[in-house]
Amino acid sequence: ETGVTQTPRHLVMGMTNKKSLKCEQHLGHNAMYWYKQSAKKPLELMFVYSLEERVENNSVPSRFSPECPNSSHLFLHLHTLQPEDSALYLCASSQELAYGYTFGSGTRLTVV
């Protein structure tokens, strides 16, 4: 365990389903991130939260909805996804922006 815990580790969902990915950190970090990693592609930043406020949204489709209720928790709500959204979704945290990220193990999402 790295100190950043993601659940579930694996998720299979239909295109009409609604699901949520959870990320939790108890490192005292004040910034949290969602990244997407598709097969054979570099990591793509999706969302950045600093002090529980969203500071970055990289043109992510609205079917992905992040939520950061407090500095220790980050969610990614999913609805009406497409098969091309199948990927490894990674959560990370850091004490200050862009310094020493700690990543979780990721959620492997398959959309059928």
Partner 1 sequence: DAKTTQPPSMDCAEGRAANLPCNHSTISGNEYVYWYRQIHSQGPQYIIHGLKNNETNEMASLIITEDRKSSTLILPHATLRDTAVYYCIVDERGGSEKLVFGKGMKLTVNP
Residues that bind partner 1 (CB under 8 A): 2, 4, 33, 35, 42-43, 45, 48, 50, 55-56, 88, 90-92, 96-106, 108
CB distance 23 to 4 below 8 Å: yes
- As measured in angstroms, the least distance from the Cβ of 16 to partner 1 is 27
CB of 56 to partner 1, least distance (A): 5
| CB-nearer residue toward partner 1: 33 or 64 | 33
For β-strands 10-13 and 107-111, DSSP reports them as parallel
Closest CA to 94 of 22, 25, 23: 25
Q: Which two tokens stand for residue 81?
A: 């996804």
Q: Looking at beta carbons only, is 1 or 16 nearer to partner 1? A: 1
Tokens of 89: 């979704």
Complex with partner 1: residue 79 or 108, whichever CB lies closer: 108
Q: How far apart are CA 86 and CA 81, in angstroms?
A: 9
Measured from the CB atom, the residue of 17 and 56 that comes closer to partner 1 is 56
